[in-house]
Amino acid sequence: MRNHWKLFFILAAVVFFFLGTQSDKITISHSTVIEAAKLIGLEFDEVERDSMLTELQANRDSYLKLRKLKLKNAVPPALNFNPVPVGTTFDRTEKTFKMGPPRKTEVPQNFSELAFYSVRDLGELIKNRKITSLQLTQLYLQRLKKYDRKLHCVVTLTEELALQQAKRADVEIAAGKYRGPLHGIPYGAKDLLAVKNYKTTWGAMVYKDQVIEANAVVIKKLEEAGAVLLAKLSLGALAWGDVWFGGKTRNPWNLEQGSSGSSAGPASATAAGLVAFSIGSETWGSIVSPSTRCGSTGLRPTYGRVSRTGAMALSWSMDKIGPICRSVEDCALVFNAIIGTDGQDQTLIDLPFNYDPNIAFNKLRIGYFKSAFEKKYPNKAADLATLEVLRNLGAILFPVELPDMPVNDMSFILSAEAAAAFDELTLNNRDNLLVRQIKNAWPNVFRTSRFIPAVEYIQANRARYLIIQQMAKMMADIDLYLSPSFGSSNLLLTNLTGHPCVVLPNGFNSKNSPVSITFIGKLYGEATLLAVAKKYQEATDFHLQFPPGFE
């Protein structure tokens, strides 16, 4: 009997070994194809299915071999998205960058009031040595430590680095080596940007101890401009929403509410006066949405304007990095420091940014997304009032309509690219380490995106090409246009086409929380876009108000 059991275990071991070595050779049958075809809305007859079986098996074997390459998030695909319409040319004449005059040029009696000063005003005070960068840095560090308990917007304080950079700025400025309007200005960066010697967590538990020993290009450019990095700020895990492994980032105007995302920390910290400005990113609303919720002013640049080297990739054809500030001109100052090519990110285009706030409305054609403004939606009164302010400033507004295309049906472009960017989580079953495990969260999107056919992904991008050409025709007769921030298809459409936008507060709702309006510019037309938005902002005072309890 003992020998029988011995023989049984030997045979079982052989069977298990055989099954293990053959696990990659699961037979693809007619029934497999029938069921899989249901996922893509197609039918094949028996002869067609029979012809497909060998190739399907070969494809599957190729997939398994390619997975062994262990592609890191930083490796881009060899296909670059091009947002430029056919036949489009751009003015490459570079002019002097101009700033508007500072609003406040004296130090307030209550030093803590500086926390809500604009970058422009703070820069003037530092330049004229009325305050020091170290004083300002210490003020913001104190506020970050005090108020993060309420907001949960800080992933990592970079205090040691900040104090070093502030002291260096003060020494340089005292020696007459002034670098420009960001010299000595403290800021925060969304924690998808790598900073040497500090963790870069991407907001996700699975990466909470990740250290990338290099500075993202945007961080390098800001260091060259003399800015002072205070903190790595929160983002929803892997750039979705406002929930990260440290909790939910809060809206400073309503602590019962999340700050929205995914640039949750940058918008919250900026609005609450914990940093002078911040760096966020957007793929589909990640600057627009939290800026709206928190009452900050955000710039989503044209695709290919700001380097993404050293930043977490979510969607190679849609990711954009931009500033979140307390004013439009602050966005212009920061944007001017971070644009340009880097020799690594091949999507970048080198075009001048000729910002001049002295712009005449009577020389511009400003559009408005007519059908979106005519719909019933919560913030309609504030948005219509915005149009009236522009008319009072001398603007003549022209109704426009966006291309009539199935834009929302193209959103799986983002899903497919995100699933590829984080495929190692799906393959290794580490996606279950992410905090959010509901249907409408990354783990489920990554898994379901595995079933998006490559043909459909390419077809969607061909439809995207058509939208780009149609948008070029629509914008040929205007310089920019306005849209409700979440009006109709505008947000997704302009993220797919790569157009820049400025989102800024234009009122408050019944719960005294901010609401916003969005200005959309031509491709690489940030100079005109920001100048017009600044004129509107200066005619209102919504951006000058700050959340109670953070004085």
Strand residue runs (E) in 129-185: 154-157
Distance CA 215, CA 124 (A): 28
Reply yes or no on whether the pLDDT at 542 is more than 70: yes
Q: How many CB atoms lie within 10 A of CB 479?
A: 17
Distance CA 506, CA 328 (A): 13
pLDDT tens, 54-89? 999 999 999 999 999 989 999 999 999 999 999 999
Reply yes or no on whether the pLDDT at 21 is more than 90: no
Residue spans in the chain of domains classed CATH 3.90.1300.10: 111-406+455-544
Cα torsion angle, 48, 50, 51, 56, sign: positive
Beta pairing, strands 297-300 & 320-325: antiparallel
Contact 270, 112 (CB under 8 A): no
Distance CA 62, CA 73 (A): 21
- Letter for the amino acid at 409? D
Model confidence at 24, pLDDT cuts 50, 70, 90, reads low
Distance CA 387, CA 139 (A): 38
For residue 546, the SS3 value is coil
Tell me what pLDDT residue 551 has.
Answer: 84
Q: Residue 292's closest CA among 119, 491, 148, 114?
A: 491
Q: End-to-end CA distance of the chain, in Å?
A: 84
Q: Spell out the CATH class of 111-406+455-544.
A: alpha beta
Q: What is the 3-state secondary structure (H, E, C) of 198-212?
A: CECCCCCHHHCCCEC
Strand residue runs (E) in 329-390: 366-369
Q: In this structure, what DSSP letter does residue 302 have? A: P
Task: Give φ, ψ of 428 to 5 degrees.
Answer: -100, 10
Reply yes or no on whether the pLDDT at 544 is more than 50: yes
For residue 289, give both structure tokens. Answer: 């949405």
Cα torsion angle, 199, 201, 206, 210, sign: negative
Distance CA 195, CA 197 (A): 6
For residue 346, the SS3 value is coil
Strand partners, 248: 243
Tell me what pLDDT residue 2 has.
Answer: 43
Distance CA 421, CA 37 (A): 26
For residue 41, the SS3 value is coil
Average pLDDT over residues 17-30: 60
Tell me what pLDDT residue 18 has.
Answer: 37
pLDDT tens, 378-423? 999 999 999 999 999 999 999 999 999 999 999 999 999 999 999 9
Q: Among the residues of 395-453, which ranges form H helices? A: 412-421, 423-427, 442-449
Model confidence at 488, pLDDT cuts 50, 70, 90, reads confident
Tell me what pLDDT residue 17 has.
Answer: 37
Contact 516, 292 (CB under 8 A): yes
Q: What is the 3-state secondary structure (H, E, C) of 84-128?
A: CCCCCCCCCCCCCCCCCCCCCCCCCCCHHHHHHCCHHHHHHHHHC
Contact 52, 467 (CB under 8 A): no
Average pLDDT over residues 285-296: 98
For residue 329, give both structure tokens. Answer: 């001109």
pLDDT tens, 99-116? 999 999 999 999 999 999
Tell me what pLDDT residue 379 has.
Answer: 94
- Letter for the amino acid at 366? I
